[in-house]
Structure formats: structure tokens, C-alpha cells
């Protein structure tokens, strides 16, 4: 039988309401991953395990496990004196990542175009047009939802888990710099127009045009990220970046499934 201190620690590591440790780790991981990929936690931001645990209302154990997963993804790295920090990225790494993205996206889009039905391709095309509309209105929340649905349809149709995993991790490493303001709105519109071109080529079953659209899209991403790196702005974290990510209302993770 466990002692009271041991029981308290076990309950703390599980999270509120006896949440299984793996589930809590996944939620912390997803919260931090989203904050990093969406550029709410800038490159070079120190990630204090104690502060994260306090703000999320959990112990250090699931926080550390989540940080180790993010390290595996290349989104955080260890730093003497800080424990973990959000990773920076070099121009060479941007070019290497974009070269890989181009190869993987060619495979994914061509395979998806061959698998999706005419009705599904029409839905994809409508989603792409909604991306343009949302970008022009400045509705980033609606844009993100439509973008998520768009890419889910493509990835599900491509039906390759290994490619999907590499794409998600590689895209996450570079796209967070592209997503940073200023000038994000202009990039959002051009990105959305790229999605229309991709969808149209799929509807037309024109694989040559589809590959060209993929290449153009990735080259715009490459150019945008390299420009951000030249400005050095992504390397300047907020004064209190963790506080800006975890508001008072989000101080404790929701433990309901």
C-alpha cells in the first residue's frame, strides 16, 4: 500500500481526476507544439520545466516527457543553464527541409489526386477557395480550420503514415518562422492561392501542373522563411513568452476527454 506522499505524487503525475500519464503528456506536448508551430513561442525562448508545470497545473514529470518528444521533433533543444529552449534554424537547414518537403509533397499530392473521388476533389477545391476568402477577410481562425481540413483530406487520401509523420515534423520546423508577423496577412493570401492552384490541378487530373504547383508553393515557403531569418526577428522571444501562451483561463489543462 502506498504512503500518502507517494499517493499524492502519483496523482500529481497523472494529472487531475486520475488522468493517465500518457494522456497528460500528449496534451502538454500538443499545447507546446501548437504554440511553437504557430510562433507564439519564438525561437530561442527558454522553457522552464518548473514554470511550465506550475502554469499547466501538473508535475514536472509529464512536462519533461513532452519536452523530450518535442526535442525528437526538432522543435526544442537542450541548452546549458536553461534546460530546454525553442530551437532556432539556419539557412542551410531551411534549404534542406524545403528540399525534403518538395519531394514528399509531390508524392502526397499526386497520390491523393489519384485516390480522391470527383466529389471529394470538388470539396477540396471549395476548401481552397474558402482559404482565400478567409485570408482576405483576415479571419485567421477560420483559415486555420479550413487549412487543417484541406491537409487532412490530402494526407488521408495519400495514405502513408511514414510520409505523413516526416511531413508534419519537417513542415513544423520551418513553417513557424513563415507564420510570424509582420506581413503574415500577405503571405496568407498567396499561400491560399497556391492551395487553389493545387486543388485545380487535382480536379483537372493534370499531374504535370500539380507537380509544378507543389514546387512553386514550397519555393515561396523557402523564400519567406529565409527572409525572416535575415531579419533576425524570429530570434527575439517575448519578455514573458510562456505567460503570453498560457493565459489565466488556460493555467490548468482541461482533463476531460
Mean pLDDT along residues 29-51: 82
Q: Give pLDDT tens digits for 168-191.
A: 888 877 876 665 554 455 778 899
Instruction: Tell me what pLDDT residue 247 has.
Output: 53
Same fold, 4-88 and 91-231: no
Q: Give pLDDT tens digits for 194-222.
A: 999 999 999 999 999 999 999 999 999 89
Report pTM.
Answer: 0.68
Cα(53)–Cα(60) distance, integer angstroms: 5
Q: Give pLDDT tens digits for 104-159.
A: 999 999 999 999 999 999 999 999 999 999 999 888 889 889 999 999 999 999 99
The structural domains of the chain, with segments of one domain joined by +, span 4-88, 91-231
User: Residue 80, by phi and psi: left (phi above 0), alpha (psi -120 to 50) or beta?
Assistant: beta
Q: Which CATH number fits domain 91-231: 3.30.2350.10, 1.20.1290.10, 1.20.120.530, 3.30.70.890?
A: 1.20.120.530
Cα(43)–Cα(257) distance, integer angstroms: 31
Q: Give pLDDT tens digits for 218-237.
A: 999 898 888 877 765 444 44
Instruction: Tell me what pLDDT residue 179 has.
Output: 57
Contact 64, 26 (CB under 8 A): no
CATH fold for the domain made of 4-88: Arc Repressor Mutant, subunit A (1.10.10)
Amino acid at each position: 500500500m502506498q504512503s500518502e506522499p507517494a499517493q499524492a505524487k502519483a496523482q500529481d503525475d497523472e494529472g487531475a481526476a486520475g488522468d493517465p500519464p500518457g494522456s497528460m503528456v500528449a496534451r502538454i506536448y500538443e499545447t507546446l507544439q501548437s504554440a511553437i508551430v504557430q510562433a507564439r513561442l519564438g525561437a530561442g525562448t527558454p522553457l522552464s520545466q518548473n514554470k511550465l508545470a506550475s502554469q499547466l497545473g501538473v508535475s514536472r514529470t509529464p512536462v519533461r516527457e513532452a519536452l523530450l518528444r518535442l526535442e525528437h521533433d526538432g522543435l526544442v533543444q537542450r541548452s546549458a543553464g536553461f534546460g530546454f529552449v525553442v530551437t532556432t534554424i539556419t539557412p542551410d537547414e531551411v534549404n534542406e527541409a524545403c528540399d525534403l518537403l518538395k519531394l514528399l509533397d509531390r508524392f502526397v499530392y499526386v497520390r491523393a489526386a489519384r485516390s480522391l473521388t470527383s466529389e471529394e476533389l470538388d470539396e477540396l477545391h471549395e476548401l481552397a477557395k474558402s482559404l482565400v476568402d478567409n485570408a482576405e477577410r483576415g479571419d485567421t481562425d477560420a483559415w486555420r480550420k479550413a487549412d487543417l481540413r484541406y491537409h487532412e483530406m490530402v494526407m488521408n487520401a495519400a495514405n502513408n503514415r511514414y510520409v505523413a509523420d516526416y511531413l508534419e515534423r519537417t513542415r513544423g520546423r520551418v513553417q513557424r518562422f513563415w507564420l510570424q508577423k509582420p506581413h503574415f496577412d500577405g503571405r496568407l493570401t498567396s499561400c491560399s492561392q497556391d492551395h487553389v492552384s493545387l486543388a485545380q490541378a487535382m480536379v483537372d487530373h493534370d499531374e504535370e501542373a500539380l507537380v509544378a504547383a507543389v514546387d512553386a508553393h514550397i519555393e515561396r515557403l523557402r523564400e519567406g522563411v529565409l527572409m525572416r531569418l535575415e531579419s533576425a526577428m524570429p530570434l527575439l522571444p517575448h519578455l514573458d513568452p510562456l505567460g503570453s501562451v498560457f493565459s489565466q483561463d488556460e493555467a490548468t489543462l482541461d482533463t476531460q476527454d
